[in-house]
Amino acid sequence: MTDIQRVVEEIAEEMRARPDRGEVATYIPELARVDVRQFGLAVIDTEGNVAAAGDCDVPFSIQSVSKVFTLTLALGKAGDRLWKKVGREPSGSAFNSIVQLEYEKGIPRNPFINAGAIAVTDTILSGHQPREALGEIVRFMRFLADDQNVHIDEAVAASEQRTGFRNAALANYMKAYGVLENPVDFTLGVYFHHCAIAMNCRQLAMAGRFLAQRGKHPVTGLSVVPPERARRINAVMLTCGHYDGSGEFAYRVGLPGKSGVGGGILAIAPGKASIAVWAPGLDAAGNSHLGRIALEALTRRLGWSIFGA
Ligand SMILES: NC(=O)CC[C@H](N)C(=O)O
């Protein structure tokens, strides 16, 4: 057994035993049904060695973790023009906050808060039909995960479509400022559906590998993005990937990471590994409670924080 596999199994064991699990998201009714006792962890190093434990094969709703991949696609389409529509500063406010948008004239602070991700999705749509844009996003996820078995959980998408009034407010607000180009319902439809992509920890860690290896696809060796872009996406993940918990995540874990309200976190140890953890219970900022604790244990034991041991 490798050191990494031993550490991953130890952590899964420790997390299973903990009574503090956080609370599942309830504002998307379908997510409220998920069993909070689950825990999965998968680490894939740059040579392709997989260390995994717990519920690492159970698919979960990746939610905002999808925003890393839509950002990658949108940068591929629009290049640096994307940064006219969305900033890259931490927001210091909740993921679904509205107040900042008014002060900043409809330009969201960063691509990972909901408003920013909706603006990113709008860039991917750029005049196409929602079905085509969604197809492109799902194909990209399958290509990166090297697995055709990645799909959209329609029940989760429909659940959020029915209840996503706050996101509708954010989108309409940006539309009023001319930040969104497509019909609001098109952009929101694609956004809700890409948030509803279901993947397991192994698939998600695989999909993130290009960010750990200078933009290269792990299987084909092709360039997914140039090294400079991979570095920059990691930087935005570090500063903005956990909303108003981003400082705490950097302090404790020390890796670029992106969380979702399904309880997943994708974390990148540049040059070393891609890591996916899933524990559905959330903390007050909407980030996976045990996911963060597990990653803190992992980076400490393996000495993987980008800030040193
Ligand atoms: N933080 C999240 O994962 C939020 C994503 C969710 N789909 C929403 O828009 O509210």
- Tens digit of each residue's pLDDT (9 = 90 or more) over 2-55: 799 999 999 999 999 999 999 999 999 999 999 999 999 999 999 999 999 999
In whole angstroms, give the CA distance from residue 13 to residue 7. Answer: 10
pLDDT score recorded for residue 309: 77
- 165 and 73, same structural domain? yes
- The Cα angle at residue 80 between residues 74 and 86, in degrees rounded to 5: 70
- 248 and 123, same structural domain? no
User: Hey, whose CA ends up nearest to atom 9 of ligand 1?
Assistant: 114
- 187 and 136, same structural domain? yes
- 188 and 117, same structural domain? yes
Residue ending a domain, among 197, 226, 247, is: 197
pLDDT score recorded for residue 57: 98
In whole angstroms, give the CA distance from residue 256 to residue 269. Answer: 7
- 134 and 101, same structural domain? yes
Residue ending a domain, among 197, 215, 230, is: 197
Question: Does the interface predicted TM-score (ipTM) exceed 0.95?
Answer: yes
- 69 and 53, same structural domain? no
In whole angstroms, give the CA distance from residue 148 to residue 32. Answer: 27
| pTM, entire model | 0.98
Model pLDDT for residues 210-242, shown as the tens digit of each residue = 999 999 998 899 999 999 999 999 999 999 999
Map residue 85 onto helix, strand or coil: coil
Q: Looking at the domain assignment, is residue 308 inside a domain?
A: no
Residue ending a domain, among 164, 197, 230, is: 197
- 16 and 69, same structural domain? no
Q: Ligand 1: residues whose CB is within 6 Å?
A: 63-64, 95-96, 114, 160, 167, 195, 260-261, 286
Q: Are 9 and 53 in contact (CB under 8 A)?
A: yes
Exactly one of 261, 272, 274, 305 is catalytic; name it. Answer: 261
The CA–CA distances, whole Å, from 136 to 39, 124, 140 equal 30, 9, 6
pLDDT score recorded for residue 218: 87
- 170 and 210, same structural domain? no
Please, is 146 exposed, middle or buried when counting C-beta atoms within 10 Å of its C-beta (0-12, 13-18, 19+)? middle
Which is the closest atom of ligand 1 to the Cα of 64?
3
- 68 and 186, same structural domain? yes
Number of domains making up the chain: 2
Task: Output the domain CATH number for residue 290.
Answer: 3.40.710.10
Exactly one of 66, 86, 191, 272 is catalytic; name it. Answer: 191
Range of the domain at 267: 2-61+199-302
pLDDT score recorded for residue 232: 98
